[in-house]
Amino acid sequence: MTEQNKTVRILAIESSCDETAAAVVENGRKVLSSVIYSQIATHTLYGGVVPEIASRKHIEKISQVVECALSEAGMKLRDVDAVGVTYGPGLVGPLLIGVSAAKAMAWAADKPLVGVNHIEGHVAANFIEHPDLEPPFMCLIVSGGHTHLVVVEDYGRFRILGRTRDDAAGEAFDKVARSVGLGYPGGPKIDRAAKDGNSSAIVFPKAKVADSPYDFSFSGLKSAVLNYQNHARMTGETVVVEDLVASFQKAVVDVLVEHTVDAAREFGFKQVAMAGGVASNSALRAAMKKACDKKGISLYYPSPVLCTDNAAMIGSAAYYELIRGNVSGLDLNAVPGLKLGER
Ligand code: KG4
Ligand code: ZN
């Protein structure tokens, strides 16, 4: 941006998985509108996201969702300063719908196009509700597809300290929920059911990854949960679902909290944030808060609606990319395997 102190309003689009979302965000921090059309009801019928159905739903809804976001912000397309869009990581079909719509709008209105990394967007959700939060800080990113422990060195610049070696935290929640018949999406259902359970009823292993103190592994835990159920079935014991999911949740939460607090201490960070769908988990929030309070660390996390997929977070990340001059060409393509920190 050449003009100092200019108000920058970005129309942002998110369609990487099963939410069709659009938002208008001012200067990366103020949400003027945020509209989310969730496809959860459709995918619940199949026990998980069906990519082809997700793409079709995105096509059906995207124009309406964008129009709604603009009108709630009291704006027309010509009034925005740029169009931001998630171009990866995610499902290729769904990503392509958002990217194509954003390109068409940027071209038609002659506005800059800003491709945004979805994981960077999750981190940026924290900037919306915490005006005092600025890099550097540590961030635990826990979503359905990703689990990373990172240092946010600057806006859009990350140093990865740890990542999952197998399943993402949210994926483990979804798979365990399915195995006990709670359905999709598993995270919120386990969160709710665990409140009626005893988290010390079953002791599950806490996976450590040799030589990588901040890496995570959840597939062993998932197998332990499945083995527990198989064993109970064979011996005729009853499984108390609430106790099982509360114990599973505790095992996940303990590892996430331990790694995050240990890393904050080792690298000397007094500000820790959480991001992604699993960051809305009530047990994780409570345990992380307790551990951070004990160490004098300030903890930040977005409201639940900004933890799960939304376009406001993409509008925030797009702003920080735009002011650093990171504008995309009209040849922007969907990159399903885009890594954190890649552009
Ligand atoms: O960030 P997100 O909306 O999408 C991805 O980018 O993956 O995360 C979705 C994931 C799902 O696995 C869902 O089960 C999990 O976040 N999730 C939760 C909760 N709410 C959503 N996991 C645990 N507790 C929750 N309350
Ligand atoms: Zn996400």
Check whether residue 248 and residue 150 sit in a common domain: yes
Probe residue for ligand 1, chosen from 18, 95, 143 as the CB with the greatest number of ligand atoms within 8 Å: 143
Percent of the chain with pLDDT over 70: 99
> From CA 93, how far away is CA 15, in angstroms rounded?
9
Q: How far is the CA of 50 from the centre of ligand 2 (A)?
A: 16
- Please compute the mean of the pLDDT values over residues 25-47 and round it to a whole number: 93
Nearest-CA residue for atom 14 of ligand 1: 187
- Please compute the mean of the pLDDT values over residues 4-19 and round it to a whole number: 91
Check whether residue 163 and residue 256 sit in a common domain: yes
Nearest-CA residue for atom 8 of ligand 1: 277
How many CB atoms lie under 10 A from the CB of residue 184? Answer: 18
Instruction: Kindly tell me if the per-residue pLDDT of 3 is higher than 70.
Output: no
Cβ 66 under 6 angstroms from ligand 1 = no
What is the band of 309 on the pLDDT scale with cuts at 50, 70, 90? very high
The protein residues having their C-beta less than 5 angstroms from ligand 2 (an ion) are 143, 309
Q: How far is the CA of 15 from the centre of ligand 2 (A)?
A: 10
Asked which of 26-30, 41-45, 122-126, 176-180 is least confident by mean pLDDT, the reply is 41-45
In a domain, 343, yes or no: no
Identify the pLDDT of residue 48: 85
> From CA 194, how far away is CA 48, in angstroms rounded?
21
Identify the pLDDT of residue 207: 75
CATH of the domain at 238: 3.30.420.40
Residue 336: closest CA among 60, 146, 114: 146
**DSSP character for 237?**
P
- Ligand nearest to C-alpha 278: 1
Q: Where are the alpha helices (DSSP H) in the chain?
A: 40-44, 51-72, 92-109, 118-129, 169-179, 186-194, 219-235, 241-267, 282-294, 304-307, 312-323
In a domain, 266, yes or no: yes
Contact 138, 126 (CB under 8 A): no
3-state SS record for 203-218:
CCCCCCCCCCCCCECC
**DSSP character for 279?**
G
* Tally of structural domains, the chain: 2
Cβ 302 under 6 angstroms from ligand 1 = no
In a domain, 331, yes or no: no
Instruction: Kindly tell me if the per-residue pLDDT of 115 is higher than 60.
Output: yes
| pTM of this prediction exceeds 0.85 | yes
Domain that holds residue 18: 9-124+307-323
Instruction: Kindly tell me if the per-residue pLDDT of 240 is higher than 80.
Output: yes
Q: How far is the CA of 238 from the centre of ligand 2 (A)?
A: 36
In a domain, 336, yes or no: no
Identify the pLDDT of residue 5: 66
Check whether residue 82 and residue 199 sit in a common domain: no
Check whether residue 317 and residue 289 sit in a common domain: no
Nearest-CA residue for atom 7 of ligand 1: 144
> From CA 66, how far away is CA 82, in angstroms rounded?
14
